[in-house]
């Protein structure tokens, strides 16, 4: 009897709780009905403009909006069968499906099934992001109720199909149909409709351009579900499974496919801005970006023309305006249709010898000159706790004689770099990097001078921009201004100049970085970028960097900073033949961008003088010198014949000045 009373109490409580829930839900629907109507055709309408204010991307706005009546019936049936077969029978939430999903997930102890309806997914599409927070879930539920209260089922389904993400930057079925099959959504076959229906679950996995076998398998599963749900016949199923699909992958022949990397990065930056939440959720936005479509095309062509290997080698590249940090072009990978991962924005890679310009600027601040000499010879360094470090030059090539800073940069001499690093103190380079805006964790170790640290490309390019703009700190940025659809300004970037470097020293360093492709420096070794010298028609500063797994080329002039990286996502070792790719991509991109522009180099500061010297020794030139070059110095620091070779007065094994 006692147990029966308990059961009765639980039953009464459950029924009362359900009654309260029904009252509450009914109240929400009534409140939603009298609330302002959501304008779904303008929701999530992201209009992106380039630096010339030309529209280059429109998200799920109404430019490619197609009515439900004009969408292939196969597409409608495939979507309903796959996503929500009881769509026309519920009010936004399928409680039968929710209960089933809960049972399956609890018994399997895994999340095998979801229960989102088309209405819920459409509500989610009206958001910029998909954060899995309770606040986000509640807002999603509320918008679902609003949709169901104000719009018919056909209108909701139409909105869903016009806003869903079909991968590769294609939002909406009409955009996707043209991209994948070069036809309108009204003309899709059953096989094509099933293929497209499978993509939104995971665009990066189920795109036929990313993984055709996986996409085909999902297409067949969707066709089987349609057969099982009696949307199609057995004959239609068999014919569609065997139908050969003719994929296109672009709307026009001159499409800049890599522009999708720029679009994705703009959306990431947009989330960080102080835009009113209502606009980010359901309002349309006009986003004025820093994209230079000509530069983006040049960068893409530079990659495609040079990186012809049929393997999984990857690349990343950026072009940045040095005075502002505006990113005018970005390549996040070799092929956006195969990988949407943006290596320029999201990854960090070992920078190799491209770290050296940061070290050498610090050296110039601490009394070094273009002629400061260390001996190029195999050296073992002893540092903390009697640890030793024995760096090597590329090819084990050493001059076995004193060489100037100019020559050390030209050859990328590792011994010279580590000697400089140890001479200045290992904290000097770390502090220099922080001053330039690098936030990566940098260890105070001898190898840091050779770029063993991993740094993000955008951050590193911004550091080089301070050299290129003669001393001002910048941050990479993609968005200039954001407006609502009525033209009200919601955000506008302000640029403030913070001087962090000495203009005279940046001038000297920039000239030193022209030695990397200068044939006059051929001696016991060769300038590291000599192979691309015939391509360079403009004076540019350039430094390359090589590790076992990474190869970089970064350089600049007054107009542009360009950084290029080559490597493998799985950190596979590069071959020597791979090294040429980053240099050639870099050279083609720089010269392509600077084409028809004058060779406008920096103006020499008044306190800087040029001196004719032997470039290898750094000493004033004599009649006996076959090669003579003008190097630059702060007035009063010009070289003389009697200048001391630095490592003759420095004991590296004790890491302190010797007493002699």
**Whole-number Å distance between alpha carbons of 452 and 351:** 7
In the predicted model, is pLDDT for residue 430 greater than 60?
A: yes
pTM: 0.77
In the predicted model, is pLDDT for residue 361 greater than 50?
A: yes
Query: Residue 488: phi, psi to the nearest 5?
Result: -75, 130
The predicted structure's pLDDT at residue 489:
92
Beta partners for residue 58, in sequence order: 47
Beta partners for residue 376, in sequence order: 401
In the predicted model, is pLDDT for residue 251 greater than 90?
A: no
In the predicted model, is pLDDT for residue 535 greater than 50?
A: yes
| Dihedral angle sign, alpha carbons of residues 83, 86, 88, 91 | negative
Q: Is 390 labeled as catalytic in the residue annotation?
A: no
In the predicted model, is pLDDT for residue 522 greater than 90?
A: yes
Report DSSP state, residue 19.
Answer: H
Give the range among 273-287, 473-487, 515-529, 577-591 with minimum mean pLDDT.
Answer: 273-287
Query: Residue 559: phi, psi to the nearest 5?
Result: -95, -30
| Dihedral angle sign, alpha carbons of residues 223, 336, 349, 545 | positive
What is the per-residue pLDDT across 40-59, written as a single tens digit (0 to 9) for each? 665 556 789 999 999 887 66
Find the radius of gyration of the CA atoms of the chain. 31
What is the per-residue pLDDT across 330-357, written as a single tens digit (0 to 9) for each? 999 998 878 889 999 999 999 999 999 9
> What are the sequence ranges of the domains in the chain?
65-255, 300-657
Beta partners for residue 46, in sequence order: 285
Q: Which residues, 6+ apart, have CB-to-CB distance to 598 below 8 Å?
A: none
Q: Is 269 labeled as catalytic in the residue annotation?
A: no
Map tokens 């009063």 to a residue: 636
What is the per-residue pLDDT across 450-498, written as a single tens digit (0 to 9) for each? 999 999 999 999 999 999 999 999 999 999 999 988 888 999 999 988 9
- H/E stretch holding 290 reads none
What is the per-residue pLDDT across 140-192, written as a single tens digit (0 to 9) for each? 776 777 777 777 888 888 888 988 888 876 888 998 999 999 999 999 999 99
- Which CATH fold would you assign to the domain 300-657? Beta-lactamase (3.40.710)
The predicted structure's pLDDT at residue 152:
82
The predicted structure's pLDDT at residue 8:
66
**Whole-number Å distance between alpha carbons of 362 and 449:** 12
List the one residue out of 512, 529, 527, 526 whose CA is nearest residue 584.
Answer: 529
**Whole-number Å distance between alpha carbons of 478 and 485:** 20
Q: Which residues, 6+ apart, have CB-to-CB distance to 133 below 8 Å?
A: none
Beta partners for residue 613, in sequence order: 620, 629
Q: Which of 353, 371, 510, 525 is catalytic?
A: 353
Chain mean pLDDT for the chain: 86
**Whole-number Å distance between alpha carbons of 363 and 512:** 13
List the one residue out of 346, 259, 352, 394 whose CA is nearest residue 569.
Answer: 346
The predicted structure's pLDDT at residue 47:
86
Domain 65-255: assigned CATH number: 1.10.3810.10
Q: Which residues, 6+ apart, have CB-to-CB distance to 584 below 8 Å?
A: 302, 306, 532, 535
In 163-254, beta strands by DSSP E? none
Q: Which of 83, 140, 321, 426 is catalytic?
A: 83
């Amino acid at each position: 009897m006692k147990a029966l009373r308990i059961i009765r109490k639980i039953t009464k409580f459950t029924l009362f709780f359900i009654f309260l829930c029904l009252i509450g839900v009914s109240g929400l629907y009534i409140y939603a009905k009298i609330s302002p109507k959501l304008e779904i055709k303008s929701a999530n309408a992201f209009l992106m403009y380039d630096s010339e204010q030309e529209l280059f991307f429109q998200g799920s706005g109404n430019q490619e909006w197609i009515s439900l009546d004009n969408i292939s019936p196969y597409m409608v049936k495939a979507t309903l069968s796959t996503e929500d077969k009881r769509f026309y029978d519920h009010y936004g939430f399928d409680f039968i499906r929710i209960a089933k999903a809960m049972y399956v997930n609890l018994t399997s102890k895994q999340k095998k099934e979801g229960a989102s309806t088309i209405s819920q997914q459409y509500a989610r599409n009206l958001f910029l992001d998909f954060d899995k927070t309770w606040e986000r879930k509640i807002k999603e539920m509320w918008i679902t109720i609003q949709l169901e209260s104000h719009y018919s089922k056909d209108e909701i389904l139409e909105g869903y199909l016009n806003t869903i993400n079909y991968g590769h930057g294609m939002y909406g079925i009409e955009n996707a149909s043209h991209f994948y099959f070069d036809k309108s959504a009204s003309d899709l076959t059953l096989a094509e409709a099933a293929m497209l229906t499978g993509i939104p679950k995971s665009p990066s996995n189920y795109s036929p351009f990313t993984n055709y076998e996986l996409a085909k398998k999902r297409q067949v599963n969707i066709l089987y579900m349609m057969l099982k749900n009696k949307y199609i016949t057995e004959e239609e199923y068999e014919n569609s499974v065997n139908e050969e699909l003719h994929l296109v992958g672009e709307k026009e022949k001159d499409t800049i496919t890599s522009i999708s990397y720029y679009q994705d990065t703009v959306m990431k930056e947009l989330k960080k801005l102080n835009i009113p939440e209502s606009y980010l959720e359901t309002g349309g936005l006009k986003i004025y970006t820093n994209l230079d479509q000509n530069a983006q095309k040049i960068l893409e062509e530079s990659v495609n023309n040079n990186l012809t290997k049929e393997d999984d080698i990857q690349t990343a590249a950026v072009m940045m305006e040095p005075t502002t940090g505006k990113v005018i072009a970005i390549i996040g990978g070799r092929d956006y249709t195969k990988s949407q991962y943006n290596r320029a924005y999201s990854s960090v890679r070992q920078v190799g010898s491209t770290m050296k310009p940061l070290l050498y600027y610090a050296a110039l601040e601490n009394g070094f000159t273009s002629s400061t000499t260390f001996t190029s010879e195999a050296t073992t360094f002893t540092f903390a706790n009697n640890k030793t470090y024995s760096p090597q030059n590329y090819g084990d090539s050493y001059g076995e004689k004193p060489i100037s800073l100019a020559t050390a940069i030209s050859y990328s001499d590792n011994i010279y770099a580590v000697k400089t690093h140890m001479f200045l103190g290992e904290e000097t380079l770390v502090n220099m990097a922080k001053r330039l805006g690098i936030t990566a964790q940098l260890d105070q170790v001898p190898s840091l001078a050779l770029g063993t640290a991993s740094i993000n490309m955008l951050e590193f390019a911004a550091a080089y921009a301070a050299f290129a703009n003669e001393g001002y700190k910048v941050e990479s940025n993609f968005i200039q201004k954001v407006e609502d659809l009525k033209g009200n300004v919601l955000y506008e970037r302000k640029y403030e100049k913070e001087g962090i470097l000495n203009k005279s020293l940046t001038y000297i360093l920039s000239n030193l970085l022209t030695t990397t492709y200068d044939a006059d420096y051929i001696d016991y070794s060769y300038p590291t970028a000599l192979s691309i010298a015939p391509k360079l028609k403009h004076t540019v500063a350039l430094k390359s960097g090589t590790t076992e797994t990474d190869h970089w080329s970064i350089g600049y002039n007054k107009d542009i900073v360009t950084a290029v990286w080559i490597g493998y996502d799985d950190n596979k070792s590069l071959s020597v033949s791979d090294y040429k790719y980053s240099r050639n991509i870099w050279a083609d991109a720089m010269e392509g961008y600077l084409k028809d522009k004058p060779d406008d180099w920096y103006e020499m500061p008044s306190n800087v003088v040029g001196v004719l010297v032997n470039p290898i020794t750094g000493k004033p030139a004599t009649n006996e010198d076959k090669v003579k070059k003008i190097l630059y110095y702060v007035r009063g620091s010009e070289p003389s014949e009697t200048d001391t070779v630095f490592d003759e007065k420095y004991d590296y094994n004790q890491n302190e000045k010797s007493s002699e």
